[in-house]
Amino acid sequence: MTDTPSAAPVLNALGQAVQPALSRIPSGIGALADYARQARHHIEAHAWAHIESGCDQAQALAHNRQALDRIRLLPEPLPDLSQAHTHLQLLGQAFDWPVLLAPVAYHRLAHPEGEIASVRAAMAMRTGMVVSTLSSYTLEEIAQAANAASQELGRTAPLWFQLYSQPDRQHTLSLVRRAEAAGYQALVWTVDANIKRSGYPLPPGVEAVNLRGMPQPQQTGDLMDDHILFGTPLATGAPRWSDLEWLRTHTHLPLIVKGILSPRAARQAAALGADAIVVSNHGGRVLDAAVSPIDVLADVRQAVGPQLPLLLDSGIRQGTDVLKALALGANAVLIGRPQLHSLAVAGTLGTAHMLYLLRSELELAMAQTGCAQLRQIGADLLWQPR
Amino acid sequence: MTDTPSAAPVLNALGQAVQPALSRIPSGIGALADYARQARHHIEAHAWAHIESGCDQAQALAHNRQALDRIRLLPEPLPDLSQAHTHLQLLGQAFDWPVLLAPVAYHRLAHPEGEIASVRAAMAMRTGMVVSTLSSYTLEEIAQAANAASQELGRTAPLWFQLYSQPDRQHTLSLVRRAEAAGYQALVWTVDANIKRSGYPLPPGVEAVNLRGMPQPQQTGDLMDDHILFGTPLATGAPRWSDLEWLRTHTHLPLIVKGILSPRAARQAAALGADAIVVSNHGGRVLDAAVSPIDVLADVRQAVGPQLPLLLDSGIRQGTDVLKALALGANAVLIGRPQLHSLAVAGTLGTAHMLYLLRSELELAMAQTGCAQLRQIGADLLWQPR
Amino acid sequence: MTDTPSAAPVLNALGQAVQPALSRIPSGIGALADYARQARHHIEAHAWAHIESGCDQAQALAHNRQALDRIRLLPEPLPDLSQAHTHLQLLGQAFDWPVLLAPVAYHRLAHPEGEIASVRAAMAMRTGMVVSTLSSYTLEEIAQAANAASQELGRTAPLWFQLYSQPDRQHTLSLVRRAEAAGYQALVWTVDANIKRSGYPLPPGVEAVNLRGMPQPQQTGDLMDDHILFGTPLATGAPRWSDLEWLRTHTHLPLIVKGILSPRAARQAAALGADAIVVSNHGGRVLDAAVSPIDVLADVRQAVGPQLPLLLDSGIRQGTDVLKALALGANAVLIGRPQLHSLAVAGTLGTAHMLYLLRSELELAMAQTGCAQLRQIGADLLWQPR
Amino acid sequence: MTDTPSAAPVLNALGQAVQPALSRIPSGIGALADYARQARHHIEAHAWAHIESGCDQAQALAHNRQALDRIRLLPEPLPDLSQAHTHLQLLGQAFDWPVLLAPVAYHRLAHPEGEIASVRAAMAMRTGMVVSTLSSYTLEEIAQAANAASQELGRTAPLWFQLYSQPDRQHTLSLVRRAEAAGYQALVWTVDANIKRSGYPLPPGVEAVNLRGMPQPQQTGDLMDDHILFGTPLATGAPRWSDLEWLRTHTHLPLIVKGILSPRAARQAAALGADAIVVSNHGGRVLDAAVSPIDVLADVRQAVGPQLPLLLDSGIRQGTDVLKALALGANAVLIGRPQLHSLAVAGTLGTAHMLYLLRSELELAMAQTGCAQLRQIGADLLWQPR
């Protein structure tokens, strides 16, 4: 018996029967954009719409790409690449290259092996991964799969846990303790999506397994309610800056605050003990008018000074995007939706190949701009009209 | 016998038979834009074209959205929302939230119950409404329906009357006196559409019922006339600033001037006794090259100082738009066409739901930008490129 | 026997048989853009392509509209329109309104009555007209038709003649003398299209009748020629500034130089005796990268000072365009292609109606921006981002 | 027996059988863009995709055109063209006009006569040509065809050789010696494409014939390789600035460095002995985020001073583009893809005609902007918004 009780065929957004994931890379896949196109055939229609959607009119989603595309690079030819590499240290941890898998909910929407397949690909490609609170396998199962893959392949990378505060602090704390126990090396506390509407009902077999037994407040949707959002537990119980202070005192793991866009909030997070910040607009899924991370990154870097590690996500799709983010002040970037695209197309193999492509592109972009190491990537690569 | 004598089926803009309004919210409606899409099926083709049109080449209509979309917001995470609310006082009147139904002509073009259905939705959602001179039910009928709904539901909101000056001042005065007698709480004098061309013939059963017996001058359209517009009663009899002085002396109701875009005109209106101003380009229906209200709002606010209430309409379609207008100096906003969309789809229920969606979006946008009350909404929310 | 010997049906650009001009205004015509859409059905495919074309990739054509559309106006409500009018004096001549029919070649491409029909419409609507050297009726026939129409209708307007310099100065002079003899009231010397490629073969019955017996140099198109353009009579014999001096000494008519875009050239023309200048890029038909007239108009005005009359063409399609040009320094504007559109649709009646629509729009735009006379139209109407 | 063993029909990108090149110019070809449209019918689908492609998401390709299109020109009427010409001296060599055929790989993808046909067209139209290291006829065959054509036609133009550094310096040197021996008059050393991915497998009969016996390093594409690009011979063996010093000492031919975009690199190239520079982003084929050459040209000119010859390619498609590049500081320009378009359509005749069109356009553009010689083309032709 399967998780999907219905006998009706499952259709993709094109009205075709959903194709199962392949065991090889299909021809014509040479970039992350190709995975995005191909993935549509491998994902059920509603899940596809949910994955690809931005909030409201999807303007933030579009702006994220436009803001990156607007930036032009100034190549520098003929560099000495004899010692070229992409290694970096972040929070005392060694990364082979400055890209991580962003926390993305419910990988099983894309592939039955979900986060298990993703984390194997991450370890194979020596790529850091941030596991979501809303994972569709338990955080312990994912950590175990990461360890197994690392030992099998002789390759590893840091594994972090993304944390959503729960209405009951004890529930939040239990997630922290479980992550510590499972060996996660940092906590990524997401602050930009505590209050959001979601109209997407999860399909059978996909669930926030980490949150079993932890109730989540919801809007009733009743027009005649006295309160809509303000005045309800969703608003009155939403996390505040004081929760960061509390969290800081309750774990020794590095603590990263994710979902910052304003310089003011960045300074506040640093002042309250954040070890790093992820500049992000949640992939355009939360506030449709939100500024794009790449557009505020330099301001945030200026606000927090040169030492605090900054990561960026929301819109990264190619190697030049990574370079642009680093040139504007990021230490590393995270990629979101592309994980699900490659996972849906070819499982672990797909995501490993997707990361291979992205890294190839990054190294090519560094070579073209005369950068043999990450520290050479600076604002002088960026072209500004006179 | 009905108002529509023809036996031929009534078609919508897609060439389908017009669907009657529903008694439920159809699936897939999660935003005002969804109502706009759905409404096309429920409105007769010529009425639809009239409702959706902008003047000339519809550039002002498009600019209104583009100007709003260009503005980006800078989220502030982790606010204290324990006391969050959207209440405000305007002209001494209490509003539950800073959105009003704009004066829109002829609601019966969208639904047989017209303004009666709209005003019931407004009261149900505690939303102010401005009734148009060109309503398709009489201003007295609409006021009576508002009272009945308020008593039935235990919910209410201010009701204002929009006034067009008539060629004969006695006719203008009679409208004022009727509005006062019916209990309207303010007059909104529209100054930007006194002279316009209209090629739209009203269908049977839809009429400017408030204006029965009040003649309206028209262009003859005869190519060989000695005068086209200048030199005809349309121009020589058009209202002037002196009419504002006259009007001010003839009513004790708060007097709001609607259709101001220039700082100079805003100062003039205030000097002559206007209690508030609506910054508006009439939804892009009057002058196709007119600047968008959101683009001049900050200048108008600067011109009139911090005290004079400013409202804005023309293009508001989502919660973030409301936030942007307030951040740039408005006290409240009005929505126009969306009223007719929701009314056509599901009558009172539709418009109530449309307002629920918009208010949800506004509260979410405030939460995302760290604003627990309206007074916290300021220009620091707006992102400007460095 | 007709001018068109072929028995094959004549097709329009849609592959339909060309419709003859109508004797009434078809429904749905409310703006110049509507005439443009409708005209396609009434003009033979190759002629249509020629009329509508811009040079090369038609970028100048598109830029002309974009440059006008970018400009936004700031309405001023409630003006006193009791004395409103659009009259002006230009070169000592009285114009009812600040729009002229631009010199457009070969009106017979659009309608068998060609310039005869156009000039009748111009007189009927008290609109100045500039007759092209490349008219398809002789300049004498057109002047005669203008006089007849003026006497018949009791309405008139100035008639000017547009002059192309001929390779032989005696030919140029004979055109001048003929124009003077026929009663034309000014000469418009076009300087921007002396050298251009044209691949359009005129259809039977359409001809540059004014130029009979005056040879025109052509490119041979032979790849193995020693010279392409430079070194051929097209270049070596092209008119120069000295031709303006010569022309100035050979006529007492007001002399207007058409096709100026640079401030330097404008000053030069004025210094050599030009009585007025037409700022124009020839409707985007000559140099595809040429700047749009509206974008340089203010600079040209500044260069020549406040007294020299400036006219503008290239892209004027609606009343607000006229207002924008006047606000930036023009005294009047000319319209080109719209003449042929309305002429093709309904002959004299069509063009008269087209002018009626444009003047209605201009008066409405003036009313909306608070201008009762042309002299009130200034740069303060233009909105500029802060 | 032919080079193409398959019996299956060869299809173009439209799914039609590929049309052979014509022996005449088809009707409707009046610009380079027309050749681009027509060429699609004459080139096999994969070759077409390869020729037309940009790297990654083809943004640089699009930006190249957008950057050129954004620039507007300010016409100057009535120039004295009696002595007009387009001649120039470059590196002591005489050019009839400032356009060269850029080095483009594998002309046989477009036409069986490949570079032989192209060089004949170049000589016929007195147009310089840069032969690619990756030519599909040997550099000796092409030089011989150039000589034959020059003698036959009594027309000639400089012939240069484009050089890619080989992993083994002796191979590089042998290419230099062969080019010298064959009579090439300059070396164009390309520095921007030493490291790039290519997924395009050459069809049978098309080969880098100049490189026979010279091994080329390739990425393995194996996901589990320890190195992707950095750490492999592709990176460790890539050419550096020291290779320019070495090359300078090994040839007396003028040495031009192609693929420079940054002012810093331009100064460096000049300091190490480059006789000229080609400002280029390789037609958008290497780094998708690379700035467009036209956008940096003025900066590069400023960096190297007024004497060093600068050429530009990437996006030149019409005469006004040539003018814009010269106005911003280039001495001449190169055209890439248009060569293959015209070659595919009509072989030597096609390319000769394409060059004729482009030169006609350039001379017209010069005439329109008042330039009788190239030295008159300056920044005052460019329009900048006030």
Specify if C16 maps to a domain.
Answer: no
Chain D residue with CA closest to A78: the answer is D240
The pLDDT, as a whole number, for residue B8 is 77
Contact C73 B287 (CB under 8 A): yes
d(CA A104, CA C294): 51
- State the count of interchain CB pairs (< 8 A) between A and D: 116
Instruction: Among B195, B236, B299, select the one facing C364 at the smallest CB separation.
Output: B195
- Residues B20-31: pLDDT tens digits? 999 999 999 999
C59 to D69: CB separation less than 8 angstroms, yes or no: yes
pLDDT of residue B39: 98
pLDDT at residue C1, rounded to an integer = 37
On whether the CB atoms of residues D69 and D42 are closer than 8 A, the answer is no
- In 3D, which of C135, C258, C297, C134 has the Cα closest to residue D78? C258
The pLDDT of residue B2 is 43
User: For residue A3, is pLDDT > 90?
Assistant: no
The yes-or-no answer on residue D282 being catalytic is: yes
In whole angstroms, what is the distance from residue C188 CA to residue C165 CA? 11
In a domain? residue A238: yes
* Chain A contact set for B385 (CB, 8 A): 295
- Whether residue A243 and residue B125 make contact (CB cut-off 8 A), yes or no, is no
The predicted pLDDT at position A198 comes to: 63
CATH number of the domain that A299 lies in? Answer: 3.20.20.70
* Under 8 Å between Cβ of D301 and D344: no
Tell me, what's the pLDDT at D195? 82
Q: Specify the residue for token string 């380009």.
A: B281
Whether the pLDDT of residue D296 is over 60: the answer is yes
In angstroms, the CA B106 to CA B44 distance is: 14
> Which DSSP category does A17 fall into?
B
Task: Report the run of H or E that residue D291 belongs to, with start and end.
Answer: none
Q: Tell me the per-residue pLDDT of C342-378, one tens digit each, with 9 for 90 and over.
A: 999 999 999 999 999 999 999 999 999 999 999 999 9
* Other chains touching D, judged by 3 or more CB pairs under 8 Å: A, C
Report the gap between the CA of B270 and the closest CA in chain C (Å).
Answer: 14
pLDDT digits (tens, 9 = 90+) for A39-88: 999 999 999 999 999 999 999 999 999 999 999 999 999 999 999 999 99
Q: Is residue A2 very low, low, confident or very high in pLDDT (cuts 50, 70, 90)?
A: very low
Residue B200: pLDDT over 90: no
Helix extents (H) in chain D: 32-39, 45-52, 59-70, 114-124, 139-153, 169-182, 233-236, 241-249, 263-271, 293-304, 319-327, 337-368
Q: How far apart are CA D370 and CA B193, in angstroms?
A: 49
| Annotated catalytic residue within D50, D63, D111, D282 | D282
Residues of C in contact with B267 (CB under 8 A): none
Nearest-CB residue to A75 (from D219, D229, D261): D261
Contact predicate B140/B169, CB 8 Å:
no
pLDDT at B9: 85
Give CA–CA dist B188/B165, Å, rounded: 11
Q: Which own/partner contact pairs does C269-274 have at CB distance under 8 Å and 24+ positions apart?
A: C269/C244, C270/C304, C270/C308, C272/C241, C272/C244, C272/C245, C272/C248, C273/C244, C273/C245, C273/C248, C274/C244, C274/C308
For residue D296, CA distances in Å to A90, C328, D194, D285 come to 36, 33, 22, 18
Cβ separation C229–D367 shorter than 8 A: yes
Residue B299 touches chain C, beta carbons under 8 Å: yes
On whether residue D81 sits in a domain, the answer given is yes
Q: What's the CA gap between D279 and D242, in Å, rounded?
A: 20
Tokens of A113: 């092996």
Q: How far apart are CA B374 and CA B86, in angstroms?
A: 6
pLDDT digits (tens, 9 = 90+) for D163-196: 999 999 999 999 999 999 999 999 999 999 988 7
Residue ranges in A203-318 assigned as alpha helix (H): 233-236, 241-249, 263-271, 293-304
- Note whether residue C26 is domain-resident: no
Tell me the shortest Cα–Cα distance from B59 to chain A, in angstroms. 20
Evaluate if residue C179 carries a pLDDT over 80.
yes
- Whether C63 and chain D come into contact, CB under 8 Å, resolves to yes
Q: Which residues of A are annotated as a binding site for FMN?
A: 103-105, 162, 190, 258, 280, 313-317, 336-337
pLDDT recorded at residue C255: 98
Per-residue pLDDT, averaged over D29-45, amounts to: 97
Q: Does residue C259 register a pLDDT over 90?
A: yes
What are phi and psi for residue B275, nearest 5 degrees?
A: -85, -20
Catalytic residue among A63, A282, A341, A353: A282
Banded pLDDT at A243 (limits 50, 70, 90): very high
The pLDDT of residue B117 = 98
Mean pLDDT value of segment D50-76: 95
Q: Which of B83, B322, B364, B381 to mutate against chain A (most A CBs within 10 Å)?
A: B364
Residues belonging to the binding site of C for FMN are 103-105, 162, 190, 258, 280, 313-317, 336-337
Instruction: Count Cβ–Cβ pairs < 8 Å, chain C vs chain D.
Output: 116
- The share of chain C scoring above pLDDT 90, in percent, equals 92
Measured between CB atoms, which of B239, B281, B287 is closest to C365?
B287
D316 touches chain C (CB under 8 A): no
pLDDT above 70: percentage of residues in chain A: 97
- Are C287 and D324 inside 8 Å of each other by CB? no
Binding site members of C for glyoxylate: 132, 164, 282, 285
In chain D, the residue whose alpha carbon lies closest to the alpha carbon of A358 is D228
Q: Do chains A and B touch (3 or more CB pairs under 8 A)?
A: yes
Span D238-254, average pLDDT? 98
Low-confidence winner among A353-357, B55-59, B264-268 (lowest mean pLDDT): B55-59
**C143-176 tens-digit pLDDT:** 999 999 999 999 999 999 999 999 999 999 999 9
Residues of B involved in catalysis? 282
DSSP B160: E
**Contacts of residue A291 in chain B, CB cutoff 8 Å?**
72-75, 383
Residue numbers belonging to the annotated binding site of B for glyoxylate: 132, 164, 282, 285
Tell me if D291 and A74 make a contact (CB, 8 A cut-off).
yes
Contact at CB, D360 and C288, closer than 8 angstroms: no
Residue C331: inside a domain, yes or no?
A: yes
All residues of chain D having their beta carbon less than 8 Å from the beta carbon of residue A76 are 262, 264-265
- Report if residue A87 sits inside a domain: yes
Tell me the percentage of chain B whose pLDDT exceeds 90.
92
Best of B50, B55, B56, B296 to mutate (most C CBs within 10 Å, chain C):
B56
What's the mean pLDDT when you consider all of chain B?
95
Asked whether residue D128 is domain-assigned, the answer is yes
Q: What are the φ and ψ backbone dihedral angles of D77, each rounded to 5 degrees?
A: -80, 165
* Nearest CA-CA distance, residue B187 and chain A, Å: 29
Do the chains contact at A230 and B86, CB–CB below 8 Å?
yes
Please write the tens of the pLDDT for every residue from D112-145: 999 999 999 999 999 999 999 999 999 999 999 9
Binding residues of A for glyoxylate: 132, 164, 282, 285
Specify the pLDDT at position D2. 43
Q: Is B295 on the interface with C (CB under 8 A)?
A: yes
Q: Tokens for B369, please give them.
A: 């930008």
Does ipTM exceed 0.90? yes
Q: Is residue D323 less than 8 Å (CB to CB) from chain C?
A: yes
Search chain A and give the residue with CA nearest B154: A224
Q: Decide if D82 touches C, using CB distance below 8 A.
A: yes
pLDDT of residue A217: 85
Domain contains B133: yes
Give the integer Cα–Cα distance in Å for C189 and C175: 11
Number of structural domains in chain C: 1
Minimal C-alpha gap between C262 and chain D (Å): 6
Look over chain A and give the mean of its residue pLDDT values, rounded to a whole number.
95
Q: How far apart are the first and last CA of chain B?
A: 66
A296 contacts chain B (CB < 8 A): yes
Whether there are 3 or more C-beta pairs closer than 8 Å between C and A is: no
- What percentage of chain C's residues is helix, strand, coil (to nearest 5)? 40, 10, 45
**Contact (CB, 8 A) for A163 and A132:** no
Q: Is B33 on the interface with A (CB under 8 A)?
A: yes
Strands D382-383 and D72-73, by their bridges, are antiparallel
C26 CB near a chain B CB, below 8 Å? no
Whether chain D has a CB inside 8 Å of the CB on C327: the answer is: no
> pLDDT at position A386, please?
64
What pLDDT does C198 receive?
63
The pLDDT of residue D198 is 63
Q: Which domain range does residue A192 map to?
A: 32-216+225-383
Contact between D125 and C223 using a beta-carbon 8 Å cutoff? yes
Whether D289 and A72 lie within 8 Å, measured CB to CB:
yes
Inter-chain CB proximity A265 and B76 less than 8 Å: yes
Tell me the average pLDDT across D201-229: 92
- A-contacting residues of D 41-60, CB under 8 Å? 56-57, 59
Q: Which residues of C are annotated as a binding site?
A: 103-105, 132, 162, 164, 190, 258, 280, 282, 285, 313-317, 336-337
Q: What is the pLDDT of residues C216-243, one digit of tens each?
A: 888 888 999 999 999 999 999 999 999 9
Q: Does A199 contact B at CB distance below 8 Å?
A: yes
